[in-house]
Amino acid sequence: MSLPSDRMSPQERRVGASLASIFALRMLGLFLILPVFSVYAKDVPGGDNLTLIGFALGAYGLTQAVFQIPYGIASDYWGRKPVIVVGLLLFAFGSFVAAWAPDLHWIVVGRVLQGAGAISAAVTALAADLTREEHRTKVMAMIGSSIGLVFALSLVGAPLLYGWIGMGGLFILTGVLALAAIVLLLKAVPAVPRPTGHLRLPLRRVLGDPDLLRLNLGIFTLHLIQMAMFVVLPHALVKHGGLAPAAHWQVYLPAVLVSFAVMVPAIIAAERRDKMRPIFLAAVALLIVVQCGLYLAGSSLWTLALWLLLFFVAFNVLEATLPSLVSRTAPPEAKGAALGVYNTTQACGLFLGGTLGGYLAQHFGDNAVFSACAGLALLWLLVAASMNFPSRRPSTVAASNLQE
């Protein structure tokens, strides 16, 4: 039985909800650690070394960058689910190592192992396998929105949980959530035909494809800007907005939730009306406007909150559309490899964004960060303007998988 092209099938809704939940379970554990780790680490043997504390946090992103491409290629050869299970087991093992760790060096080992469970490419490739092109961005939006939501929730819950169960308990909770994600993957996500592999398309062609390069530059720039901004925004909320760090969630949570409500109509227009190009370019342009606005924000908390809301609108639209565009642009036999490259550049953007943001803020002030981010977003807009945006095509998922 065929389905109207503007309606998601029950399976597509289940795929979106299940994979978004898997991402959320994994990311919640990671995000819960971030707001309190630096406080905890100071009382751990080796915690007097601030460089080592920073490396303990960043080690996850570095190993993510190393392993995304191999995991994506492996999922093309051996299937998405087996690779995701292996990655989640490794992530859980790293969490338990960090929970046991007697000193900061062993926490670094645990974080490295966590990052080695780099499943993002395989999960997004699985989402692409199980959805039609006309609904793929919606599913990616569900996944991206779940990440934003658990980030906001972690800002609220982390101090409370840390007070109840400590950092060791948070790491154990992270491992348990990863194991729960495996159960959800095996029980709730439908089966998918075994990939045919990417033997007919060498990796160098994926790396050299002009449109994939533009998309990879996009995710690199987006997450570089995100990390660089959040090096200075918490300080700006305290200094200019008069908001104590423990109350920052009062700005973050409403901004994330309202941005979701604004994002949904944009995603629907991009998919149903084939307006991907103007909406995508408008979101990149909004990033530039946000950086300029933050540069001129002054001392008003409400002004900072407004620009933060607009940032999350642009960020969530781009976070949803970028992986969808990669999956539609990449050849089917190399979808996992292409998404592996994509997620690697994302991890590199996260790592370099924090480094660049810290350097500029220390040596040139907060406004230098916003100026640099605006310049990078402008460069991205110029590059993206020449990109070929794939038009909607007939469903690429077997009809038997999409029947009511």
Give the span between the Cα atoms of 231 and 372, in whole angstroms: 13
- Residue 153 backbone dihedrals phi, psi, to 5 degrees: -65, -35
Q: Which residue has the tokens 């690429």?
A: 396
Give the span between the Cα atoms of 104 and 53, in whole angstroms: 8
**pLDDT score of 196:** 52
**pLDDT score of 5:** 53
How many residues can be counted in the chain?
Answer: 404
Instruction: Identify whether the C-beta of residue 135 lies closer than 8 Å to the C-beta of residue 126.
Output: no
Give me the sign of the Cα torsion angle 107, 110, 116, 120: negative
Instruction: Identify whether the C-beta of residue 234 lies closer than 8 Å to the C-beta of residue 249.
Output: no
Give the span between the Cα atoms of 67 and 250, in whole angstroms: 36
Alpha carbon distances (Å) from 174 to 90, 110, 167, 181, 253 = 12, 12, 11, 11, 22
**pLDDT score of 381:** 95
**pLDDT score of 298:** 64
DSSP secondary structure letters along 298-327: TT-HHHHHHHHHHHHHHHHHHHHHHHHHHH
Q: What is the dihedral of CA 88, 89, 90, 94, to 10 degrees?
A: 100
pLDDT digit string (tens) for the chain, length 404 residues:
444 456 778 888 888 888 888 888 887 777 777 667 766 777 778 767 756 766 776 677 778 888 888 888 888 888 889 999 999 999 999 999 999 988 888 988 998 898 888 888 788 888 878 887 777 767 777 776 677 677 777 767 777 788 788 888 989 998 998 999 999 999 888 877 665 544 455 567 777 788 889 999 999 999 889 878 877 777 777 777 777 766 777 887 788 788 878 887 887 777 667 778 889 999 999 999 999 998 887 667 888 889 989 998 998 888 878 887 887 787 766 777 777 788 888 888 877 777 787 778 778 888 898 999 999 999 999 999 988 887 655 444 443 444 43
* Helix residue spans in 189-297 (DSSP H): 203-208, 210-239, 249-272, 276-295
DSSP secondary structure letters along 245-264: GGGTHHHHHHHHHHHHHHHH
Work out the number of other CB atoms within 10 angstroms of the CB of residue 74.
21
CA angle 70, 57, 59 (to 5 degrees): 30
CA angle 9, 146, 394 (to 5 degrees): 30
Q: Which of 394, 248, 251 shows the shortest CA–CA distance to 311?
A: 251
**pLDDT score of 2:** 46
**pLDDT score of 399:** 39
Instruction: Identify whether the C-beta of residue 57 lies closer than 8 Å to the C-beta of residue 36.
Output: no
